[in-house]
């Protein structure tokens, strides 16, 4: 991957496009995606049937959820899929066959097969659902290949250099990069966004969010039985299953908020980040790392081979962000501890707040003093139009329906040639929390500056999401 990035930066610099380092110095072009030229499309082979052409890179379970929604919406087809492992490909082909549609072309084998797929086929949209370290190389390749819309799973990038790569290439090619942050489409989050835009909470002051999810089973999954179940084994790396093959290694080598976007996305939308507001500085701290080692010992014993692994990721990582318009945001990452799931949303302003743990709402002048309202009635009143329109279709979709709403919105943008609902600047800003938290923690919690990925355009950019 590093060789690929170096090669790409050389090509982009030679072509006169600002590389990551130039962009960070503020000397690169300040064009917007909307003002960039349309991506160069390859010639269509054969008669066009009018359907949107989708491709998928990475064919795990997340890919299957996207396929469900793409094929549930009329007017779409899957042209090709790509993976390095035969097992996921076979399962994906079997899954697609259930829809009684033509089988897609298959690209498999080497790590660079996705480049062959992108160069050989013509797509309206390519969805990338691969391991984190491949998100940027694959997104960059898709945009350079002329794919008009590229959907990348979360987090979109791991380093600041990668964040700038996404921005620079999207600007240079005109390709719309969309971060596939499904929680932004969660029904309560969209209703809360409506309440914010209607001024129910007054001027926003503070936000809270995070990713608090017990992933110990996921990080040591053997593919046969989860570790908690009888007969399960503790595995990570090449012999493990699904995300345990690669995700657990991030807990070994990194110490920071490695998965921030589920939480920060909805809060950023409420606070108009990159559209009249922006993140300006951040500080982060981490607790000691205990949970994963204890899980191994509790389930495999002190002599288990994995008990020798040293995990760097603190069990609880807390980041505080300062915004240009004065607001603060606290982001929490907690995946190594025994706990129920929570994203810990809190949107608070001068006239009230929403807190999703307990589903509490308080609006001054309308709620009883010092008492919470149940959010149900508020959210029924301020239900977002996408949910009101698509409730029946979304009910059977993944993650409570928000996956369907997200794909519907993206497809609507593609059909109408509108900007991506969550663009390259969002992908960069939300994902940059990972690298900046690592940097701050390594410096003892020091305050670090947040790059302005819009290069000053945030002042005049208008909200796009949910409109």
Q: What is the pLDDT of residues 27-83, one digit of tens each?
A: 333 334 544 555 555 544 334 789 999 999 999 999 999 999 999 999 999 999 999
CATH topology (fold) of 182-383+422-457: Dihydrodipicolinate Reductase; domain 2 (3.30.360)
What pLDDT is attached to residue 178?
A: 98
Q: Cα-flanking dihedrals φ and ψ of residue 121, to 5°? A: -115, 165
**Is residue 11 scored above 80 in pLDDT?**
no
Q: 354-400, pLDDT tens digit by residue? A: 999 887 999 999 999 999 999 999 999 999 999 999 999 998 888 99
Domain range summary for the chain, segments of one domain joined by +:
50-181, 182-383+422-457
- pLDDT reported for residue 288: 98
DSSP string across 84-115 = S-HHHHHHHHHHHHTTT-PPPEEEESSTTHHH
CB–CB of 84/108 below 8 Å?
Answer: yes
pLDDT, mean of residues 223-238: 77
pLDDT more than 90, % of the chain:
85
pLDDT at 398: 81
Q: Identify the bridge partners of residue 257 per DSSP, sorted by sequence position.
A: none
pLDDT of residue 39: 55
Sorted by sequence, the CB contacts under 8 Å of residue 53 that are 6+ apart come out as 77, 79, 121, 122, 123, 124, 125
- E strands present in 213-359: 279-286, 317-323, 328-334, 346-349, 352-355
Just give the CATH number of 50-181: 3.40.50.720
- The pLDDT tens digits for 423-444 are 999 999 999 999 999 999 999 9
Nearest to 88 by CA among 120, 62, 112: 62
C-alpha 342, offset from chain centre: 17
pLDDT for the residue 396: 81
Burial letters 440-460, b for 16+ CB under 10 A, else e:
bbeeeeeebebbbbbbebbee
279 class by beta-carbon count within 10 Å (0-12 exposed, 13-18 middle, 19+ buried): buried
Neighbours of 44 (CB within 10 A): 9
- Coil, strand, or helix at residue 399? helix
Mean pLDDT across 100-109: 97
pTM (two decimals): 0.90
The position carrying tokens 């409420």 is 270
Strands laid side by side in the 328-334 sheet:
373-374, 360-363, 352-355, 346-349, 204-212, 328-334, 317-323, 279-286, 448-449
Question: pLDDT at residue 167 above 90?
Answer: yes
Rounded mean pLDDT, 96-120 = 97
All residues at 6 or more sequence positions from 457 whose CB lies less than 8 Å from its CB, including other chains: 30, 32, 425
Q: How far is it, in rounded angstroms, from Cα 292 to Cα 242?
A: 18
Look at residue 13 and tell me whether its pLDDT is greater than 60.
no
- Dump pLDDT digits (tens) for 176-209: 999 999 999 999 999 999 999 999 999 999 999 9
Supply the pLDDT for residue 7.
Answer: 41
Coil vs helix vs strand at 170: helix
Q: Fold match between 50-181 and 182-383+422-457?
A: no
Measure Cα distances from 239 to 52, 231, 266, 323 in Å.
37, 16, 36, 43
């Amino acid at each position: 991957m590093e060789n690929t990035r170096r090669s790409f930066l050389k090509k982009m610099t030679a072509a006169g496009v600002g590389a990551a380092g130039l962009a960070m110095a503020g000397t690169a072009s300040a064009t917007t995606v909307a003002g960039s030229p349309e991506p160069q499309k390859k010639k269509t082979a054969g008669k066009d049937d009018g359907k949107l052409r989708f491709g998928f890179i990475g064919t795990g379970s997340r890919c299957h959820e996207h396929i469900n929604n793409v094929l549930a919406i009329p007017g779409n087809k899957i042209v090709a899929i790509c993976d390095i492992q035969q097992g996921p490909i076979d399962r994906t082909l079997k899954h697609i066959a259930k829809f009684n549609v033509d089988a897609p072309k298959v690209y498999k084998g080497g790590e660079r097969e996705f480049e062959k797929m992108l160069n050989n086929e013509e797509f309206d949209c390519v969805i990338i659902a691969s391991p984190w370290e491949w998100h940027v190389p694959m997104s960059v390749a898709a945009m350079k290949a002329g794919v008009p819309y590229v959907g990348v799973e979360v987090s979109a990038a791991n380093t600041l250099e990668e964040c700038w790569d996404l921005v620079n290439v999207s600007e240079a090619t005109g390709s719309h990069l969309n971060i596939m942050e499904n929680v932004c489409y969660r029904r309560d989050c969209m209703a809360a966004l409506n309440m914010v835009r209607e001024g129910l909470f007054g001027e926003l002051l503070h936000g809270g969010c995070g990713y608090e999810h017990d992933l110990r089973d996921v990080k040591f999954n053997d593919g046969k039985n989860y570790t908690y179940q009888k007969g399960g084994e503790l595995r990570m790396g090449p012999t493990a299953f699904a995300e345990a093959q690669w995700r657990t290694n991030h807990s070994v080598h990194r110490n920071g908020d490695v998965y921030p976007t589920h939480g920060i996305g909805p809060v950023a939308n409420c606070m108009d980040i990159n559209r009249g507001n922006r993140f300006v500085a951040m500080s982060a701290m981490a607790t000691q790392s205990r949970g994963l080692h204890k899980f191994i010992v509790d389930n495999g014993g002190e002599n288990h081979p994995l008990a020798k692994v040293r995990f760097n990721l603190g069990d609880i990582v807390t980041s505080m962000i300062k915004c240009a318009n004065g607001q603060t945001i606290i982001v929490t990452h907690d995946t190594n501890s025994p706990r129920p799931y929570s994203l810990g949303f809190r949107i608070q302003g001068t006239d009230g707040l929403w807190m999703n743990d307990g589903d509490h709402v308080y609006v001054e002048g309308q709620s009883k003093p010092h008492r919470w309202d149940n959010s149900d009635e508020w959210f029924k009143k301020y239900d977002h139009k996408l949910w009101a329109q698509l409730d029946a279709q979304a009910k059977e979709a993944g993650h409570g329906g928000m996956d369907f709403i997200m794909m519907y919105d993206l497809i609507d943008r593609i059909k109408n040639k509108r900007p991506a609902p969550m663009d390259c600047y969002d992908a960069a800003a939300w994902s940059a929390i990972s690298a900046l938290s690592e940097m701050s923690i390594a410096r003892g919690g020091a305050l670090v500056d947040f790059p302005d990925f819009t290069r000053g355009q945030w002042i005049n950019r208008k909200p796009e999401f949910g409109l």
